[in-house]
A and B are shown apart, each in its own frame.
Chain A
Amino acid sequence: MKLITLAIRNIKRSFSKYAMYFFALSFSVFTVYSFLALMYNDQVMAKFTYSDRYRAMLISFGVVIFVFVAFFLISSNNSFIRARKKEISTYSLFGMTNRKIGWLLFVETMIVGSAALVVGLAVGIFASKLIAMILLNLTLTHFVGDVEFSTAPKVVYLTVVPFLLVFGVIGLTGRWVIGRFELIDLFKANKMPETRFKGSILLLLFSLMLMGTGYYLAAWRDPLLLMMLALPILVLVIVGTFLFFRGGLPKILSWLQNRRSYYRGDNLIAVSTFNHRLKSISGLMAAIAVLSAVAVTVIASGYTLYATVEKSTYDAVGYDLYFYTNDEQVLHDVRAAFAEHDVAVIMEHTTYRYQARPRTDMFVAAEWEFGTPDTYYRIYPQSEFNQLLRAARERYPQADVGKGEAVLAVRTGNNELLEKEWVGRKLDFSNSSLTVTACMDLDITDFGAYYTVVVNDSDFTALMENGDIITTDSGKSPFDRVTVVKYENPLGSHDLNRRLNQVLAGRVSSYRLAYNHYIDALENFGLVCFIGFFMSIVFILMTASLLYFKQIMAAQEERHLYQTLRKIGIRPQQEARVITKRLLPVFFIPLLLGFLHSIFAMKSADTMVFSGMLAVENSYLIVLKFSAAMYLGYGLVYGIFYLITRRQYINIVS
């Protein structure tokens, strides 16, 4: 009974000090509960588990969260006990047995843990409906209506039991930890600064080399190779990061200490103090760098995907709708569908899929082969080609081809290279030849072929008469014609699109609906986006609160330092500068390194995903633009934590 009274008194007394610890515990409970609640929500599951890919994604996300929560609990508990060394040693000095102290710690942990469980669960139950709504709304454009959300007792149970176990284990390890304390160490603990890392030039170079190699590999331009290298790159960069904080940063600091500017008062204080903290914090800083990199990369990818869905849809499909058929009835039904749903058709155009096989030399341009025996081209008269371009969603410049000339359209991503090879070459038809004068980087007019040739209308007629252009296959049956349709609000008219799918499916040899592509992509990317945001919030809150925690502990030990400085006569502004210089690196070196990692990770993501999706010359620039927005957001939230910490630190030391 007496033990419990003591425990409660301790908690009460130090509540303000350890509010952040409590907050952190509650937040882990909240995170785990919310995630489990999502996993056990029927609507969410129905939506995402029909595909194994999504299920795997959700599960790996779950694993990441659990690992992270465990890491978080362990390290915050360690700091917590360390911070109480003095108090514990006092009990010990006055004759309390280790066993009893162990019990005291256990009781305290259980009390605080249970309180955190209750708070975390309460917030989780309250917020999980909101979270599910956000997830479904992000991923399903046409999601309307309410999410059913009953609190499943099973989820509560699944959250409570593991946490009680974890708290119990943590409480018991306290006994083990204090068993290793020596009384003398305990009393020195507050007085004696942590021993410094000297750092080593070798470690510094080695860590830079590891990270550099990782970066170099990540910037590789071959997607397949990158896929294989993903794991080695991760290992290189992560190991490099840890070594950098363990041995490299201390070395850099000791270089700074040898510079003259080090002896300017505030540098002297801030650098030497930071240096002494480095040992206890280098692991955490490295972890933060890595975690921030992961989180920021995931949100940046998710956001880029999400923000470019529309563009990538049209880069892939080209038109709102196109289908291959010679069946007039289908065409009629399609028109009826538009009328029925009262959606205005902006443009409809039907064209033959003309085919020609002009001869050229054999050569390769921009990684495409030309002049092989089976090379054939889609060929259009200029007027028809321009009609198609107008029917496309994106605005393309109209083609203007002179007599005797030809324009070549191939999707290469590098039009200059193509033009360099092609311009001036001749396409030899049976009794005429046309000179290629320009190339275009597009593939929406190919309809099954690799290349498109655009010629002058009169040349086209001549070629047609000559038999150079065919519209039937070898068995003399005509190719299906293509119909392209451009209509109002193509991505928003859910009912119409559903109807179009019904009309077309199975009746035409092929059709593509921008809407289908768009919805697919949104579901996919919405999930990535959601996971990214959720993970970032978890990572930011936990890492930042760990940092906060450590800095507050440090502040208690550093109080004395500022008192002495004030006695010597440091000015208030100078003191503020010292505090800034002391805290800023702790927070922002890992963050900046994380961003750097992420910039290279986004390069890989660009090579593997985005460059194939976005039809622009340099998709990496677009990717970076969207990533920068996310970096900024992440940095801002992180910065708020910095400010909170700084404020609390100042409160403690002054």
Chain B
Amino acid sequence: MEILRVENISKVYGTKRSAKQFRALNNISFSVKKGEFLGVMGPSGSGKTTLLNIIGSIDRPTTGRCIIDGQDLTKLNKNQLAQHRIKNIGFIFQDYNLLETMTLKENIILPLALHGYKVREMEAKLARLSHDLGITGVLDKYPYEVSGGEQQRAAACRAVITNPKIILADEPTGNLDSKSGRALLDLLTLINQKYQATILMVTHDVFAASYCQKIMFIRDGEIYNELYAGESKRQFFDAIIDVMSVLGGADNEADYFSHS
């Protein structure tokens, strides 16, 4: 079943008249099936974050439509969009975006709190997730008191705690060591399988990408290539490296994989 369809989306930064127009996305179309774990790769500046923002309805496309679960996002008003985001979408941002005035715990349950959940429910969900991600010990600390990796995991926790239909992750493993990076990827996989959550993950990390069922490569705002995971993870990994070496912009993670 199709959960997300992107139709001819373009995004142009800068005002129409100004000379400094920049086309970050150029007429992109694709669709994602429910329960899919999709990776998005591409060189820096290729428009990955822009694409994710549009799908997450944080940003509006200049032209084109984005349809989630049969609902055309361009037709929703501000209120409905906010409702939609909180109910259907979980974000893991490139720069965490944790609120500095709140403890990790408060940050994580924030979406539930905005949604009006009961305290007991919130705490039950929180306990399970934070255990899976290994941040139970730092829940009462403030973001500036914990490491970048812990912040990133808390951000992941916040994204998945509402059981969203689609999880949008922008380089979620960018700041993690291999162990916690893998824990996060395992968690995403688990959520993907257990709750049939659809995941779109932007990454530069080939190892992280190899967790995906499908990789979409973007260059200069256009889809450049697609790869499907086959029987062997190793083959998939090599194929990704091949494409990325043409595209440029991948971290060299070959050693990383062989050691793990």
Contact residues of A with B, CB < 8 Å? Answer: 188, 191-193, 260, 263-266, 268-269, 272-273, 275-276, 560-561, 563-574
Contacts and interface: CB of A to CB of B under 8 A. Distances in A.
B101 A268 contact: no
B31 interface: no
B38 to A, nearest CB: 20
Interface in B76-91: 78-79, 81-87, 89, 91
B91 A568 contact: yes
Contacts of A572: 78-79, 82
B172 to A, nearest CB: 15
Contacts of B109: 263
Interface stretch (B115-123, B196-204, B205-213, B233-241): B115-123
Given A263-B113, A265-B116, A268-B113, A567 B83 contact: no
Contacts of A191: 100, 144
B56 interface: yes
B82 A570 contact: yes
Given A569-B85, A571-B79, 10 more contacts: A191-B100, A193-B101, A264-B113, A265-B116, A565-B99, A567-B91, A568-B86, A569-B111, A570-B86, A574-B114
A275 B79 contact: no
B163 to A, nearest CB: 14
A263 B119 contact: yes
A561 B102 CA distance: 10
Contact of A564 (B56, B97, B119): B97
Contact of B82 (A264, A269, A276, A569): A569
A460 to B, nearest CB: 83
B79 A272 contact: no
Contact of B99 (A263, A264, A275, A561): A561
A188 B142 CA distance: 14
Contact of B110 (A192, A268, A566): A268
Contact of A193 (B82, B106, B142): B142
Given A263-B119, A265-B115, A570-B114, A564 B99 contact: yes
A231 B93 CA distance: 58
B100 A193 contact: yes
A517 to B, nearest CB: 60
B114 A265 contact: yes
Interface string B225-255: 0000000000000000000000000000000
A545 to B, nearest CB: 25
A568 B100 contact: no
B133 to A, nearest CB: 18
Given A272-B106, A567-B97, A572-B82, A264 B116 contact: yes
Contacts of A566: 58, 82
Contacts of B115: 265
A646 to B, nearest CB: 19
Residue in B83, B109, B113 with the greatest tally of chain A CB atoms within 10 Å: B113
Which 3 pairs, one residue from A and one from B, show the smallest C-beta to C-beta distance? A569-B85, A569-B86, A265-B114
Question: Interface SS of chain A: helix, strand, loop or mixed?
Answer: helix
Contacts of A573: 79
B226 to A, nearest CB: 28
Given A264-B116, A268-B113, A272-B106, A571 B82 contact: yes
A273 B110 CA distance: 13
A449 B58 CA distance: 87
Contacts of B81: 569
13 contacts: A193-B142, A560-B97, A561-B101, A566-B82, A568-B85, A568-B91, A568-B110, A569-B82, A569-B83, A569-B87, A569-B89, A571-B78, A573-B79
A268 B102 contact: yes
Contacts of B86: 568-570
Nearest to A557: B100
Residue in B87, B101, B102, B119 with the greatest tally of chain A CB atoms within 10 Å: B101
A653 to B, nearest CB: 13
B113 A567 contact: no
A188 B143 CA distance: 13
Nearest to B85: A569
A567 B92 CA distance: 10
Contacts of A260: 119
Residue in A273, A275, A560, A567 with the greatest tally of chain B CB atoms within 10 Å: A567
A565 B93 CA distance: 12
A154 to B, nearest CB: 52
Nearest to B122: A263
Nearest to B78: A572
Contacts of A275: 101
Contacts of A193: 100-101, 142, 144
Nearest to A257: B106
A276 B56 CA distance: 30
Contacts of B91: 567-568
Contacts of B83: 569, 571
Residue in A265, A273, A561, A570 with the greatest tally of chain B CB atoms within 10 Å: A265
A269 B99 CA distance: 9
A567 B56 contact: yes
Contact of B101 (A188, A265, A276, A571): A276
Given A191-B100, A193-B101, A561-B101, A567 B119 contact: no
Nearest to B99: A561
Contacts of B85: 567-569
B113 to A, nearest CB: 4
Nearest to B109: A263
Contacts of B144: 188, 191-193
A82 B82 CA distance: 35
